[in-house]
Chain A
Amino acid sequence: MFELLGIPPQVLFGQLLLGLINGSFYAVLSLGLAVIFGLLNIINFTHGAQYMLGAFGAWMLLNYLGVGYWWAVFIVPPIVGVTGIVLERLLIRRLYHLDHLYGLLLTFGMALIIVGFFRQFFGVSGLPYPPPPLLTGGHNLGFMYLPNSRAWVIFASLIVCLATWFIIEKTRLGAYLRAATENPTMVGAFGINVPLLVTLTYGFGVALAGFAGVLAAPIYAVNPNMGSDLIIVVFAVVVIGGMGSILGSILTGFGLGLIEGLTRVFYPEGSAVVIFVIMALVLLVKPAGLFGRSA
């Protein structure tokens, strides 16, 4: 069998698959950010906190109401989405006419408040979330042992990413959205309720973050800081893919997951920075990102 730089192919395939799984989280989260930025021009720094809310939502449903994981997958994202809608209606709405920077500051501040609130009540060590029976165990693929929970993550996020892409690019609702992004005044003149569209879009982007949080609950420790660590990477993914590009953020999410996975084999110490190195390189060559159109 061939070996690549001393790494046997089984190991390599395993790492590539794991990279894709991590990429799924990046893809779902960056997709939400891209949708929100595309329509609202808001850089949603609360995204990491909303991802954390998703995981805590699942934990609370299980521990306070005895509602299991599979229900949580459907119940929690809309709830998190509604918290986003409230936030948009009350606060973010007031900043649309201002520079991006204000939106960034507001959402960043909101993230700090939400995370601080949860830290106060739940500590930082996190809470146990047992995976449902269907997701325990796994399969031996020959080159690696694939836990069912990870297989489910990759499957679920692919479905959600494709569905989102389809809605935005191929349906009438998506056409309204894209039109409102280009020229909100004109779309409003055609009788479409643009503010409502904007609110719902923000809610949807936030629900995507909540969804990723539910997916993460059985895998990672459910703790208040879980999103803060991830969100910076996800922002880099969005920047590399091109701000506001739907397909771009999905593809870069999975792609960067792969690259990060490979770095973990060849030079694990560098795996935390590789994405930022790529971001710097991409910005040098294509400032609008890989899939972005320059203004």
Chain B
Amino acid sequence: MKKMGFILASTASLLMAGAAYATDVKIGVLNDRSGIYADIAGEGSVIAAQMAAEDFKAADKGINVSIVSADHQNKPDVGSNIARQWYDTENVDVIADVPTSSVALAVNEITKEKNKIFLASGPASSDLTGKACSPNTVHWTYDTWALANGTGSAMVAQGGDSWFFVTADYAFGHALERDTSAVVEASGGKVLGAVRHPFPGQDFSSFLLQAQGSGAKVVGLANAGGDTINAVKQASEFGITQGGQSLAALLMFINDVHALGLDVAQGLVLTGAFYWDMNDQTREFSARFQERNAGQKPSMIEAGVYASVLHYLKAVEAVGDKDAAKVMAKMKEMPTDDPLFGKGTIRADGRKLHDMYLFRVKKPEQSKGAWDYFETVATIPADKAFRPLADGDCPLVK
């Protein structure tokens, strides 16, 4: 009797194994959970990753997804340690998000070394698909080249042909300043100067005064999150725009506009990859997300985490395995299709291509209430929105 039971049990388990493979996938969401980028990524990105796993119905498809998260405190050393520990001892297969370019560049290297996968939604530096490009990284949402191309060209087209930069003094700020300067100069404008401020900063008055003194027509803010909020607030205080200069917030998130209020932020032109109020699908997702994220609408970074995790899971399902090389090949081969970014592709250098948008912040009287902040000024088609493959100096495509 005992023997019979054993045979039955083993047959049953054999049958089950034949019916469905079981793949355990562990996703690590690594970002800023307490500092100046915690509202644009932070816990929201973890929620986005969870929603991706739920919406994909991963469990029904034989993929067991577990999600872990950690705070990199915007410090490359802290981020590197967590990434190594995750890969070496905790069997993490994928790291997602990672805002703060300096941290992302470190995670990019470690991921390559350990042959895992990095779904970069948070970082901006275009070096991730340029000289630092990696066969293990997908740069999903946006990059400094796309921001420069969107906002930079738009400002020059409006007559803003002389620029002064207020730049966050680390990898991201430097890349954004570099890429924007290139756009400005290519469109016939000139760059009069730049000042590098410590990251993160609090008081920008001194730097804004230097920008004011430069006589440049456009003051370009090459910073993000809390730094941009403080800089825009203080620019309004010091009468930068009343004095005839224009302000270009080169990277601005909807959460920043929420924090500033429309009185201060109105009229700013910005480049983005996602806005919650674009179509029925984005509105439906954003409503569900808002419920779970303390009333905040998703930022484009959080939207990117959702979409990139979704695409990754589709690739794992298609391959039937989580081997990094196979899954990366599948991700690049399959066109992407998700409710937030629509249809797109991933290029050989790891750059995800989709439309980008030029938004303008609404006037208070145009807005119907909280989070109704952007109007779309222009759509930049996917093939024009990102740096051409040949210009990136990515060793993978040479």
Contact = CB atoms under 8 A, between A and B. Distances in A.
Do A and B come from the same complex?
yes
B213 interface: yes
A70 interface: no
A181 interface: no
A145 B196 contact: no
Given A15-B206, A15-B209, A264-B207, A138 B239 contact: yes
B36 interface: yes
Given A145-B243, A147-B237, A269-B169, A22 B203 contact: yes
B263 A128 contact: yes
A229 interface: yes
Interface in B12-64: 34-40, 42
B198 interface: yes
B302 interface: no
A124 B33 CA distance: 9
Interface stretch (B85-93, B225-233, B267-275, B330-338): B225-233
B255 interface: yes
Interface in B179-231: 195-198, 200-203, 205-207, 209-210, 212-213, 225-226, 229-230
Given A128-B263, A128-B264, A149 B237 contact: yes
Contacts of A130: 261, 263
B153 interface: no
Interface stretch (A187-195, A206-214, A216-224): A216-224
B229 A221 contact: yes
B33 to A, nearest CB: 9
B259 A125 contact: yes
Given A124-B35, A268-B195, A268-B196, A221 B206 contact: no
Contact of A119 (B34, B196, B198, B264): B34
B230 A221 contact: yes
Among A119, A123, A127, residue most surrounded by chain B Cβ atoms (within 10 Å)? A123
Given A130-B261, A226-B202, A268-B195, A221 B34 contact: no
Interface residues of B, number: 44
A265 B206 CA distance: 8
Contacts of B294: 123
B283 interface: no
Contacts of A221: 226, 229-230, 233, 259-260
Contact of A124 (B39, B169, B212): B39
Contact of B238 (A119, A128, A147, A220): A147
Interface residues of A, number: 40
Interface string B110-152: 0000000000000000000000000000000000000000000
A225 B263 contact: no
B234 interface: yes
A270 B25 CA distance: 44
Nearest to B202: A229
A21 B205 contact: yes
A145 B201 CA distance: 22
A8 B215 CA distance: 14
Most B CB contacts (10 A, CB to CB) among A138, A261, A264, A272 go to A264
A271 interface: yes
Nearest to B199: A272
Given A225-B226, A226-B202, A124 B38 contact: yes
27 contacts: A15-B209, A18-B206, A18-B209, A119-B34, A123-B38, A123-B294, A123-B296, A124-B38, A125-B226, A126-B226, A128-B260, A130-B263, A131-B237, A145-B212, A145-B239, A220-B203, A220-B233, A221-B233, A221-B259, A223-B226, A225-B35, A225-B226, A226-B202, A229-B202, A269-B196, A271-B197, A271-B198
Interface of A: 8, 10-11, 14-15, 18-19, 21-22, 119, 123-128, 130-131, 137-138, 144-145, 147, 149-150, 219-221, 223, 225-226, 229-230, 261, 264-265, 268-269, 271-272
